[in-house]
Amino acid sequence: MPIIVCPEDDRYVCIDGNTRLTIYHELLAEGAPGDWNAISCLILENPEQRDIETIRVTAHLVGAREWPAYEKARYLHYLRNVEFMDYDELIARCGGNRKLIDEQIDAFHDMNTFYRDVSSDDAFQVDRFSGFVELQRKNVKDAIFSADLGLLDFGNWIRSGQIYKLADVRKLPWVLADEEAKNTFINGGVRSIEDAIAIVEENRRKDTKSPAEKTTVAKASMAVLAQALLEKVKSMPREDYLALRDRNYETADQDVELLNDLAENLLDLLRDVSK
């Protein structure tokens, strides 16, 4: 964990981590094995006194606690784009993997570029950060651009509450590909994406092969549906697999998102019911 310092004249003043710094000085003076000439640090440029006191109170009175996701991403962004730290060192220091680090950094950039209102800090809510992490999912940005929209639009949807539950960001490819749902979402108010998702799901139900099949599926038990899906996956023809993997048909992206959504909901259910 790096110490925290801020520049003062021609030196740096330690804000948090004095004990670690003292230990380094003592080990250096003793000639202990190892390199004690340098210690990792996070530099605060032009901090206000309130920022300094907040750091000290958090470290010494409140105690160590998990960083908020936005602050973790800010730190990763700083290390990668200001300190130019390579991925191996980032992973060693912060954990994770390259894909996860890139997602966090990109989410931090997108949130500050397309959501943050520079004229009012009150409009900036860091608890909306996970929506920008969801934005990094495969096909979400492509769906926005394909609908002749942009990331400023996305920032406005988050700010206005049209996307209120941030997990609904992953449903954007469905919504934007359905003209009726798209219009309901874009022209609606708070939580309008939820109405749009309902339209998509209803339109999908209408696309079943026959009324009889629709009735049969609706009445089937969860166990029967699970068994049928399991057999379907196990016996999936290779050409169908390749078409899905390579997105060789129009609704492939939506099918993958639907399967992802099913998998996540099944995992949640299993966690709840497992003993």
- Residue-wise pLDDT for 20-74, tens only, equals 888 888 888 888 888 888 888 888 888 777 777 777 666 554 555 567 888 889 8
Beta bridge pairs of residue 3: 41
Which pTM does this prediction carry? 0.59
The residue behind tokens 């220091």 is: 93
Q: What is the pLDDT of residue 255?
A: 83
Q: Given this model, what pLDDT does residue 149 score? A: 96
pLDDT in the model for residue 215:
59
**Token code pair at residue 145:** 């651009």
Instruction: Extract long-range pairs of 155-160: CB within 8 Å, 24+ residues apart.
Output: 155/110, 155/111, 155/114, 155/115, 157/193, 158/115, 158/128, 158/131, 158/132, 159/115, 159/117, 159/123, 160/189, 160/190
- Report the chain's mean pLDDT, rounded to a whole number: 84
- pLDDT value at residue 141: 94
pLDDT of 118 reads 56
Q: Are 245 and 236 in contact (CB under 8 A)?
A: no
How confident is the model over 208-236, as pLDDT tens digits? 555 655 556 667 788 888 888 888 888 88
Q: Distance between CA 88 and CA 165 in Å, rounded? A: 34
Give 139-164 pLDDT, tens digit per residue.
899 999 999 999 999 999 999 999 99
